[in-house]
Structure 1
Amino acid sequence: MWTKANIPDQSGKTIIVTGANTGIGYETALALYEAGAHVVLACRSMDKAIDAQTKLEALDGKGTLEISQLNLSDLNDVKKFANQFLKSHKQLDVLINNAGVANTGENAPDRPKTADGYEEQFGINFLGHFALTGCLYPLLKATSGARIVTVSSNGYQTAHIDFNNLRSENSYDAMREYRQSKLANLMFAIELDRRIKQSGDSVLSIAAQPGANKTELVRHMTDKEIAIGKERIGEFMEPWQGALSLLYSAVSPDALGSNLYEPDQGGFRGYPTLSTIKENALDQVTATKLWDLAEKLTGVVYLQ
């Protein structure tokens, strides 16, 4: 059973956690801060980032904290964040692509879009992180032992990439689009690791999925919808436990590139274990097409 007690000393390491102000991102940042890392809380809201920093500092971790604004729904803002980071930092040991939205439930907005006009879940969860990773990749490459952890979800298993509907121009189903974004994240993590190895670089690209957790991702769901979900998959975990799969991927010497780590009880609850990735996420043709499209849509080209 792997817990945060197994985290090696992270002193001297610089780690970015996107969406670190709440839920799994907050718990991931906390564990790394406690272990001695310099943790960058990359958040959409600076007010929430400041609140998170204040809460974390009160816990007196061994590391240090930094906050920075990152709006993944605006590609120009993503590039601005990356440029500022590259100017002010000499290393990046781990990038944890955690932030995300889930516009599911009766109270969710209808067909929300990013600043660049893409379906919001696909745009934030996948495209924003694709661009962020590409912009920061030169520093990751230059940092010995660097890792990229990209967060997926169990929902990827029933998803496919609809290349003709990325702006919801034909139809919209919130859960379908959420699952698609998480499939895209998993395919990205695997394809990124393949390209890294092909280039001869030593960075690891790893995927993690946290299982079913009590986080803000269910904020648009009614009590009835949440109850139905629990009836289907069981009780939700606390965020600290969901964060373990991300932490294992980020720091364990046993975590390997191209792998997906998830909770050991059916992927919904438990402690980190190696997942068997479903065929839909291993389609090389689709992965290449998705990568090429992401480069075109974001204007960020890397690992040629």
Structure 2
Amino acid sequence: MAAWSARQIPDQHGRVAVVTGANSGLGLVTATELARHGAQVVLAVRDTAAGARAVALIRDAVPSASAVVRELDLASLSSVRAFAKALTAEFPAIDLLINNAGLVLLGPAHTTSDGFELHLGTNMLGHFALTGLLLDALGRADAPRVVGLSSITHKNAHLDFDDLMSRRTYDASRAYGSSKLATTVFGLELDRRLRAAGSPVTSVLAHPGLSRSNLTPRAWEHRGRMGRVAARAGLLVTQPAERGAEPQLFAATDPGVRGGQFFGPSGRWEVRGHVTEVRPSAEAAAPATGQRLWSAAETLTGVTYL
């Protein structure tokens, strides 16, 4: 694949793009570039004040930008339902859903308002429910896509279906990796089910490699001085958020993208580099794993679709 940059994004005028976690980092870059190319962007964020500041930054970069902020807390299923209901009343057709928001903490275990382990509940289950609740609106658009944000950490992770919430033994790094594996499994299983249903919606995946964002210092904030040292050292091996966002922007906008594809950096170990197609782990790609996770997600969230 030839080197690709956000300058190559096709015209997005007339398209509505929803970007979760769009107030900073990869999400802000993604929202800015989509707005730069004409999309009407919905910044779906937990902190609406931070979202308003992000819109101001977008308009500084793109004075003609069409961008609005709407409240969404992926760690609360009631918030997900309220957001989806209001959004579909405002936008009957949605062209792009970019499930970008993510959380990584290296401290003690936390849970969502629904009692889910915080990484799994925020990174995967919240997006699972959101996608299902927006699927009809996506189906009314022209060439609609759902983009899931994976991570290279998914390749060393495992889903323990007997302990999805990590209650028996908790390790924050493992919990994060498992949540990103679940996100990857979800994106691939969503593609299978959309195809089987004859849906016009396309499901694709992307990961940013190791990119600098607000998640990096937050992940180490519980480790004190050593954590701060590790965060500074990370600057030497990570790439800018602008480069890290390219795989999800390519996945969202390139006309040649097909359902089930997965994009990430081209460099060694997929840490940095230009966009290329990458492979998920064997566990992520296994249809049996997808079916099992889907069934669990429907039971846990109460959202059933496809």
Task: Tell me the TM-score normalized by structure 1.
Answer: 0.94
> How far apart are residue 228 of structure 1 and its match?
6.1
> How far apart are residue 89 of structure 1 and its match?
0.9
2:130 corresponds to = 132
8 Å CA contact retained: 1:35, 1:62: no
8 Å CA contact retained: 2:149, 2:207: yes
1:58 corresponds to = 60
Deviates more, 1:54-63 or 1:89-98: 54-63
8 Å CA contact retained: 2:32, 2:62: no
1:96 corresponds to = 98
2:229 corresponds to = 224
CA offsets 1:97-117 (integer angstroms, 9 cap, x no match): 00010012xxx3x10110011
Separation in structure 2 between the aligned mates of residue 192 and residue 168 of structure 1, nearest angstrom: 24
> How far apart are residue 168 of structure 1 and its match?
2.8
1:111–1:58 Cα change, 3 Å: same
> How far apart are residue 61 of structure 1 and its match?
4.5
Deviates more, 1:275-284 or 1:141-150: 275-284
1:212 aligns with 2:221: no
Given candidates 279, 282, 289, the residue that maps to 2:282 is 279
8 Å CA contact retained: 1:44, 1:71: yes
Task: Tell me the TM-score normalized by structure 2.
Answer: 0.94
Separation in structure 1 between the aligned mates of residue 166 and residue 186 of structure 2, nearest angstrom: 21
CA RMSD, aligned part only?
1.3
State the aligned residue count.
296
CA offsets 1:56-105 (integer angstroms, 9 cap, x no match): 1122344401110000000010010000011111210000000010012x
Unmatched 5+ stretches in structure 2: 221-226
1:192–1:268 Cα change, 3 Å: same
2:27 corresponds to = 25
Structure 2 counterparts to residues 26-175 of structure 1, below 5 A: 26-104=28-106, 108=107, 110-175=108-173
2:295 corresponds to = 292
Unmatched 5+ stretches in structure 1: none
**Structure 1: which amino acid aligns with 2:9?**
I
Separation in structure 2 between the aligned mates of residue 235 and residue 229 of structure 1, nearest angstrom: 6
8 Å CA contact retained: 1:33, 1:61: no
> How far apart are residue 227 of structure 1 and its match?
5.6
**Structure 2: which amino acid aligns with 1:243?**
A
